[in-house]
Amino acid sequence: MATDPYAEPPVLPGTGDYAREAGIPPSEGAAIEGRSPWYLAYRRLRRNRIALAFGALFVVIVIFCLAAPLWSHLVAHTGPDDEHLTEQISINGQPTDVVNPTGIPIGPGLHSKFLLGADQSGRDVMVRLMYGGRTSLFIGVMAAIVTTVLAVILGLIAGFYRGWLDAVIARGLDVIWAFPVLLLGIALGTALSASGSGLKIGPISIPDDSLWIPILIIGFVYTPYMARPIRGEVLSLREKEFIEAAVAQGKGATRIMFTELLPNLWSTIIVFFTLNIANNMLLESALSFLGAGVRPPHSSWGSLISDGYDVIYSAPHLVIIPGIMIILTVLSLNVFGDGLRDALDPRAKVRLEAAALEESH
């Protein structure tokens, strides 16, 4: 019989053998101590070495990007936008042009300045990579927060009130869901970043080169993928006795939503949030590559690849390096998120990424 590698050691499903699951020897019998579901999840996660290793990798990447100013000031002595077109550095005692007369920049090498080489304008790739990563991570996390807040509010309202309110919200989500993610992102990105436009909703106006444009676009585009499952979960939780009890106690709708329903949604939210950051970063890179995402003066890993793509045949490192950073970051979040899901709900049948991962291409 086949077994799942992430599955539990033999605890029969549905037997409620939580003591054994928590690693307490069965002989203790009556002295079994109560364990919170969070503690059990933590124990399961701790056993999943692969997920933990990738989670640690993500932390390392975040620290790497946060350390950008340190590297820039203490090691490379140059900023992300400083051009060194006409300068020379010494490699193996030989003075070498940062960008040689035919326009080819130096590649990666063991020199404190230009550790990962230079780009076609003579800018330090290492410094640009670290600063670009800050933008990519910032957009990924902020957009995930936007998605989560929107999805939780919409899911709670639709699932709690049901009726016509639910019908309206559910249909609205369906319509947005009908657009391919990339196409909707492109449409919004192009419309909002075309000359002199920017976003205008009532009194709020955001200039066309602000990072908040891609953040709001990505956050909005992924909302149905999270709101639909949350709504489903609220619909089923709503039938449970504890909600009936809360209603009988005279609790108001807002209070029931936030003190009774929301705490039961946390595990779903956490898993989605993690996987969502990964998807956001991929979408951001694709939009930036096409020119509908991050716009100058900002740069992200996606726009670094886009810039480097023009000279890929003479300086492939400009494309390869930021690409590897994107893969490592997204992969670490995907594997960790996977482990998190298995830990929080070991019998999860719904493959969450089925909804969240559609066409990020």
Partner 1 sequence: MARFIARRLVGMVAVLFAISVIVFVIFNVIPGGDPAERIGGRNQTPALRAQITKDWGFDKSLPVQYVDMMKKIFTGSLISYQNQENVIDRIKQGVPITLSLAIGAAVIWMAFAMVFGYLSAVRAGAFTDRALTILSLVGISMPVFWLGAMLLYFFTFKWQIFPTGGYVGFTTDPVQWFTHLLLPWLTLAVLFIGFYSRVLRSNMLDVMNEDYVRTAKAKGLSERQVRVRHVLRNSMIPVITLFGLDFGAVIGGGAIITESIFSLNGVGQYTADSIVNVDLPPVMAVTLFGAFFIVFFNTLVDIAYAWLDPRIRLGTAAA
Which residues of this protein are in contact with partner 1, per CB under 8 A?
1-5, 171, 174-176, 178-180, 182-184, 186-201, 205, 278, 282, 285-286, 289-292, 302, 305, 309, 312-313, 316, 319-320, 323, 326-327, 330-331, 334-335, 338, 349, 351, 353-354, 357-361
Q: With respect to partner 1, which residue has the nearer C-beta, 87 or 358?
A: 358
CA dist 127 and 72 (Å) reads: 6
Q: With respect to partner 1, which residue has the nearer C-beta, 106 or 325?
A: 325
Shortest gap between Cβ of 57 and partner 1 (angstroms)?
A: 12
CA dist 99 and 231 (Å) reads: 56
Q: With respect to partner 1, which residue has the nearer C-beta, 125 or 257?
A: 125
Q: With respect to partner 1, which residue has the nearer C-beta, 259 or 314?
A: 314
Shortest gap between Cβ of 224 and partner 1 (angstroms)?
A: 12
Shortest gap between Cβ of 86 and partner 1 (angstroms)?
A: 28
Residue 33 is given by DSSP the state: P
Up-side HSE of residue 14: CA atoms within 13 Å toward CB? 0
Q: With respect to partner 1, which residue has the nearer C-beta, 31 or 175?
A: 175
Q: Count H helices and E strands in the chain, helices first.
A: 15, 4
Residue 27 is given by DSSP the state: G
Residue-wise burial string across 57-76, b where 16 or more C-beta atoms lie within 10 A, e elsewhere: bbeebbebbeebeebbeeeb
Q: With respect to partner 1, which residue has the nearer C-beta, 247 or 331?
A: 331
Shortest gap between Cβ of 325 and partner 1 (angstroms)?
A: 10
Shortest gap between Cβ of 156 and partner 1 (angstroms)?
A: 23
Give the pair of three-digit tokens for residue 11: 């605890």
CA dist 216 and 214 (Å) reads: 6
Residue-wise burial string across 104-132, b where 16 or more C-beta atoms lie within 10 A, e elsewhere: ebbeeeeeebbbbbbbbebbbbbbbbbbb
Shortest gap between Cβ of 355 and partner 1 (angstroms)?
A: 11
Comparing C-alpha atoms, which of 204, 181, 200, 203 is closest to residue 292?
A: 181
Q: With respect to partner 1, which residue has the nearer C-beta, 68 or 192?
A: 192
Q: With respect to partner 1, which residue has the nearer C-beta, 131 or 289?
A: 289
Cα–Cα distances in angstroms (integers) from residue 18 to residues 22, 24, 45, 130, in the given order: 6, 9, 15, 45
The H or E element containing residue 4 is: none
Shortest gap between Cβ of 269 and partner 1 (angstroms)?
A: 21
Q: What is the dihedral of CA 118, 121, 122, 128, to 10 degrees?
A: -50
Shortest gap between Cβ of 151 and partner 1 (angstroms)?
A: 18
Q: With respect to partner 1, which residue has the nearer C-beta, 159 or 256?
A: 159
CA dist 148 and 150 (Å) reads: 6
Please tell me whether residue 106 adopts helix, strand or coil conformation: coil
14 torsion bin: left (phi>0), alpha (psi -120 to 50), beta (else) = left
Shortest gap between Cβ of 71 and partner 1 (angstroms)?
A: 24
